[in-house]
Every structure is written in C-alpha cells, then in structure tokens.
Chains A and B, each alone.
Chain A
Amino acid sequence: MLVRFIALGLIGLLACVSVPSQAQTKKLKVVTTLAVLKNITEEIGGDRVTVDNLSDPRQDPHYVQPRPTLMNKARKADAFIEIGLQLELWAQKVINGSGNPRIQLGQPGRIIASDGIATLELPRVVSREWGDVHPYGNPHVWLDPINAKRVATNIARGLGRIDRAQRSEYERRLSEFEQRIDEALFGAELVKEIGGSKLTRLAERGRLLEYIDNQGLSGKLGGWLKKAEPLRGQQIVTYHKTWIYFATRFGFSVPIEIEEKPGIPPSAKHRDQVITFVAKSDVRALITADYYDASATDFIATKTGAAVIAVPIDSGGVAGTQSYFDLIDYLIAKISAPYRVSAHG
C-alpha cells in the first residue's frame, strides 16, 4: 500500500515538474494587425513566438474586412498587437468575434504598440467636419524609425508580461534591435562615436545635425539619414496624412495634401489648388500609399510634371520590403529619387 502511495506521489511530482517545462517550451501565439508589427515582434520574440499577421500589406490598414477567419486566428492568440490610435477600427470587431478573453482591452495579452509615443497632428477640435480625424493624433507612427524603437519596447514589455520567464531574453533582443535601428538610421560610425541614446535624444529634439556639425562629425553621418539628405528642406505633396512622421524624421515638409480632408477625396477645386501650389513651388514629388486611387495624383502630376511615387506603407507590400529595415530602405530610395536626379543633373 505504502509503495503504491509513494509511486503515485512520484508520478504526481513528475507531472508537476513536467507541466512548467512544457509551458517553457511552448511558443507564444501572437497576432498582429500590420506586417511591420509582425516583423518587429519576430525580432523581439525570436523563436519564442509564432506570429500571424491579420492584414495584407496591400490593404489600407484602416479598412480591413473583419472576416471570421481573422477572428479564428485571434481566438487562439496569447497576444494581440495593434498600433492603436484608432488606426485599425476593425481590430475590436475581430477581438469581439474571437471570443478570446486573453486579448480583451485591459488584459496582458492586448498590446498597444503606440503607447508612449508623442503623436503628431493631435487635433484641437475633434469633429467629423474635419473628415476622418484621429482624436489621439496621427496613427502612422511606425514610419519614423525612432518610433519603431518605442514600438519594439512596448512589444518587449508586453511579451514579458505574459511570458515572465523569458523577460530578460526579450529585453536582450530589444537592445539588439535598438542598436540595429540606431546604426541603420545614423550610421554605425556615428553611433560608435556618440552613442545611440544620445543621437536619438538629439534627433527627437531636432538638434542632431546642428550638434554633429558643431562637433565636426558631419562626415560620419551615415545610414538612412545620410541617404535621405536630398530630401532635407524639400517640400513634398502627399495624398493622405500618412507621411508626417517620415517627413519629420527625414527633414522634408508636407505643405498640402491632395485629399481635401482626411478620408475625403479631392474636389476639382481643391485639386486645382494643389496644381497651382505645386506649379509655383519646388515640389517635385507626389507621394501616395499604393492602395489609394491614384487618378487625382496622376492628374496633378500630368499638369505639373511632378513625379508620382506610389509606395506601400507596410512591409511586404511590394517585393524587397519584407522586413522593417527593407521597408524604410525602399521608401527612402523611392521618395528621394526625384531629388537625387535633380541634384546630380
């Protein structure tokens, strides 16, 4: 009898020991709303996570159809990662349809990637008179690589909340990702000289170029900021208010949008105003996300001679943009092309 009890006890003990070990080897199931979030989550989570992205990078991220297949993917998820700021209006519908309590708002499995980012274009008055305004500011935050580091931090902290055992690993991978972003943005030589944190602080305050100039380090600037030099100080017209973060980081301004108001296609009158503006100024490029109707943009281009640059805003939207780094590389190359040609020509 005693032997039987001991044997049962040992089996129970083994079972208790084996449960956590299984849990440790079990990968976290993560769903994301954008492919860039999938990229960054894979950078942070490594082989500890399997990530499924719900939208297609060719889609407008504002208007993804909340299909039952997306709900079913979200049903099995340990974490649901979204940009937030009312970018993905469809996300809550997917979560409600999933019936998954772990990813409801306020639960550890719901990760808002834009938390803590100082948003731009925060509206003073929130009214539909202004079109599809975002009450919490412009949500296209990931197009600034410095914000991508904040996104990665939120993801690392979020994964750490639901997988405490691997928290230090996520933090380690976060540091590596931040280092890679710094080197890609500022150039490895400058990062080595000054340090990524200080460069980031300077860039956020708009004092980076002045500082490195004063220090005689301008020649060491590399990476995306170097590649985007032709854009600095330029004016570029965009279709939608998609590019403010990208423009701020790479030094160009967006004096006017082709859309009359966010989400409102241009009237003939507004289109003519844009044509007049482009013709009078030195605008050489019209940028549009490639899921928008390009007819108005094309029309303005034919009247003014400006180049139309239709590009994806999510990774994987076209060949050669599979990772976040590829996407920013691609965007800088495409958007600065008209200015490089004119600078050399």
Chain B
Amino acid sequence: MSKRITLMTALSMVFASVIFASLLSARESDSLTVRQTVDEQDKRYQLQGLRERLQALEKQLDAVRERSQAVASQQHANVFNPGITIFGNFVGRWDDAPVFLEEAEGDGKAPRVDDKFNLREVELDFRGAIDPWADGVVIAAFESEVPGEFTTEIEEGYFTLKRLPVIDRAPLGLKLKAGRYRPEFGRQNKIHTHDLPWMTRPRAYQTFLGDEGFIRNGVSAGFFIPTPGEGNTLEAAADVVNDGGLPYSVGAPAAKGGYLGHLKWFWDIADGHDLEIGGSGYIEDTSQGTFASRLYGIDVTYKWKPFRGGARRSFHLGGELFVADLPDAIRQDDRPLGFYTWAQYQFGRQLYIGARYDYTEVFAEDESQDEGSELNTLGAYLTYYTTEFLRFRVALEHAGKEIGKNPNLNTVFVEVNFLFGSHPVEPYWVNR
C-alpha cells in the first residue's frame, strides 16, 4: 500500500514537474517572442532612422555636388581668361572763371571745360599668367578732357618675368619687365589717375612728366640691394626706354634713348610706422655726346597705419621734388624745379581728409615770358569710400596766376570713382 502511495506521489510529482516545465517553457517562449518583437521594432526604428539619415545625406551631397559643379563650370569657363577690371572716373567741376583747354579745336577755338560734368576716364585692366615664367598686363584707357570726346590709348601693356628660364634662383630678387609701362620715377608716377589720393596730378608732375605722368616703351630691371638688418630694404630699378615726350624738352634734338635709375629705401620704423625715401634720375643722350634732357627727383613719404585698428585710422605725410636740367638747345644754365607736399588723415573706416600744396617754376619756349614766374596751387579734399570699389570725393582747389591762363582760379570738384570685375591686389591701398 505504502509502495503504491509512494509510486502515486512520484508520478504526481513527475506530472507536476512536466506541467510546470511546460508552463515555464511557454512563458519563456512568450518572453522570447516579446523580446524578438521589441528587437524587431528597434531594428525597424533604427532602420527607419538610418533611411532618413541616408536621405538627408543624399540631399546634402546633391547640394554640395550641385554647388561644386556650378563653381567648377564657372572656373572652367573662365580658367584661361585674364582677370578683368573696369574702372570709371566721373568728375564734375565748377570754376569762378572760364577755363579753356590749351589745344584749340578745328575752328581755332579752345574748348571750355569749366562748370561741366565729365566721364574723365574709363580703363579696362586685363591681367593674368602667360605661362609658368611670365605674367602679362594690358590696360586700355579711354580718356576725356572735353565731355563726350574720348581719346583711346594703351596706357600700359607689359609682361614681367617671374622666373628666369635659365636659372632657378633670381639673384637679388631680380624682376624683369618689358613693354609699355609707368617707370618708377618718383612715388606716384606708377599710380593711375583713378587711384590718386587727389583730384588732379600735382602741377609738378604735369609740368615735368606730362599730364598723365611718365609712360614709356622700354625694358626694366628691378632688384634688391642687401642692407643690414631686416627692418629696412633698398630697392633699385634700371630702365632703358624710348626718348622724347617730356613736356619741357620740346624742340630738343633727337636722342638715342632714355635711361632711368631709381633707388628706394624703405624703413619699418616701428609697428605701424614706416618711411620711404626715393631718388630718381632720367637722362636722354644724343649721338653728339650732348644731352637732350635730364630730370631728377626725390620723394619722401611717412605713413602711420596701426596694426590694430589700421582699417580705421592712418596718416600720410609726403612730398616729391623735381629738378630739370633743360636741353642745351632750349635753354642754357636753367634748372627749373617744382615740388608738392601732401598730408592725409583717415578718421574712420570710410573717411579721409587731406590737403596738398604745389609749387612749380614755369618755363616756356619764349624765355622772356616766364622770367621768374611760378605757380602755386593749394587743394583740400574729403574722400568717402563705401567699399574699396566705390569712392566719392569732394575737393577745393585754388591755383595762383599762370601765364596765359586764368588768374587765381578757384575750383570745386566732385568725383565718383567706381570699379568692378576681378580684384587685382594692386594698388588700391598704396595711398590708404
């Protein structure tokens, strides 16, 4: 009996164990199913997130590709074109006396230019690399003295060698240039009209170098001369150019050519302060061993532009002196001189105020006409830049008596200078 009871108990326990195990198994199975469902949901959720991220990335990629293609196609279209900049210089003037141009027109009457607006100059500036050895620059100018009448010229057209084909290193930083260009005579001669810090070129420039400055066809070599210390440099330029064309050498005998030398010493005095002193000499030689013309110049410029805040404050003080040794054929023992001095203060990011005084001894072909005569000019100007591409200027200029011209002329100028196109790095900041 007891054996039977024991057997029954054992069977019951086995049965109970089986039922418990099956229940447990079912529960685990349910749990597994739930876990699998959660995992699948997680995976689906993650997959959805990844899909969305992929779509977002694809969109970003498309946008980047589109932009890069746009840039690439722009670059491709322009890659071999030169950098082109167009300059326009628009001037208005009001005078307290009639002003006539020196050159008479066909009817013999000299045109009047006072109280007029005039698009004084338009320049097209092309520049770019020619090949690995040279860069090229061509500047075409349309100039107007009488409103609506333009003369056209190639103001500059030259190439510079940036590497010598034969040697890897340029001794003393030698730079070679050939073509038609503005030689380094004085400091401002290289500056085109639209980049001048004034309304007009100084009288001394006009008298000794010409209305538009000194522009010649020739070849030039520029190089550094070693100096002690790193805070200063000495640069030299030597040019061989075509002769003729100087305003005061009209009537001089033909020359074999002109030779120009320029020496410039630049000194970084202290942070934001620098000083530049230059000396220039120009000689035209005749085949008879006599000279046709000689011209000498000295220029000095001090500049302050602090490192911090230099975009808002600066100061310039400078001047140039010219002395001419007139050709024997024109005048003997006569050495007229002229100079100008100027100062400019920047008192804001966009505003500059300045003044210039000119003095020039006047000479003419008829010696009796200009005995002891001289010309004084005083000017003041206010300049406002919106950006470096657009400039407004108002100026007052008083000119003393000039032979055969107006006595004591007072003029008010307004000027708008604009440029658009590529952004060559020179020379917008030379006088800023």
Contact = CB atoms under 8 A, between A and B. Distances in A.
Contact of B233 (A68, A92, A93, A135): A68
B230 A72 contact: yes
Contact of A89 (B163, B230, B308, B425): B425
A141 interface: no
A65 B305 contact: yes
B97 interface: no
A248 interface: no
A123 to B, nearest CB: 9
A211 to B, nearest CB: 13
Contacts of A128: 387, 389, 420
A228 B264 CA distance: 51
A126 B129 CA distance: 22
A100 B230 CA distance: 17
A135 B174 CA distance: 33
What range describes how many residues of A lie at the interface? 35 or more
Nearest to B265: A68
Given A59-B308, A69-B230, 9 more contacts: A59-B310, A60-B311, A66-B425, A72-B224, A73-B230, A99-B172, A101-B168, A126-B74, A291-B311
A263 B311 CA distance: 11
A39 interface: no
A99 B163 CA distance: 8
B426 A93 contact: yes
Contact of B170 (A66, A72, A96, A99): A99
28 contacts: A59-B310, A60-B310, A60-B311, A63-B311, A65-B305, A65-B310, A65-B429, A67-B266, A69-B231, A69-B232, A72-B173, A75-B224, A89-B423, A93-B425, A93-B426, A96-B160, A99-B170, A99-B222, A99-B224, A100-B170, A101-B168, A101-B169, A104-B132, A122-B68, A128-B389, A136-B71, A263-B387, A265-B350
Interface in A87-140: 89-90, 92-93, 96-102, 104-106, 122, 124, 126, 128, 131-132, 135-136
A96 B160 CA distance: 9
A58 interface: yes
Interface residues of B, number: 48
Contacts of A290: 308
Contact of A104 (B163, B174, B223, B387): B163
B172 to A, nearest CB: 8
B372 to A, nearest CB: 41
Contact of A99 (B129, B174, B311, B389): B174
Contacts of B305: 65
A293 interface: yes
Nearest to A91: B425
Contact of B162 (A58, A96, A263, A293): A96
A122 B307 CA distance: 29
Contacts of A30: none
B230 A106 contact: no
Interface string B280-309: 000000000000000000000000010111
B427 to A, nearest CB: 9
A35 interface: no
A75 B231 CA distance: 14
Contact of A58 (B129, B163, B308, B312): B308
B196 to A, nearest CB: 18
Contact of B71 (A100, A135, A264): A135
A124 B67 contact: yes
Contacts of A291: 308-311
B274 A124 contact: no
B71 A67 contact: no
Contacts of A169: none
Interface of B: 67-68, 70-71, 74, 129, 132, 135, 160, 162-164, 168-170, 172-175, 222-224, 230-233, 235, 264, 266, 268, 271, 274, 305, 307-312, 349-350, 387, 389, 420, 423, 425-426, 429
A122 B389 contact: no
Contacts of B425: 66, 89-90, 92-93
B67 A101 contact: no
A45 B135 CA distance: 32
A71 interface: yes
A56 interface: yes
A97 to B, nearest CB: 8
A97 B162 CA distance: 10
Contacts of B387: 128, 131-132, 263-264
A124 B307 contact: no
B173 to A, nearest CB: 3
A180 B311 CA distance: 36
Given A72-B230, A122-B71, A128-B389, A56 B307 contact: yes
B230 A265 contact: no
Given A124-B67, A126-B74, A265-B349, A68 B311 contact: no
Contact of A102 (B168, B235, B268, B429): B168
Nearest to A105: B129
A68 B266 CA distance: 7
A131 to B, nearest CB: 8
A135 B350 CA distance: 24
Contact of B268 (A67, A90, A135, A293): A67
Interface centre among B162, B168, B429 (most CB of A within 10 A): B162
Interface centre among B233, B266, B271 (most CB of A within 10 A): B233
B233 A69 contact: yes
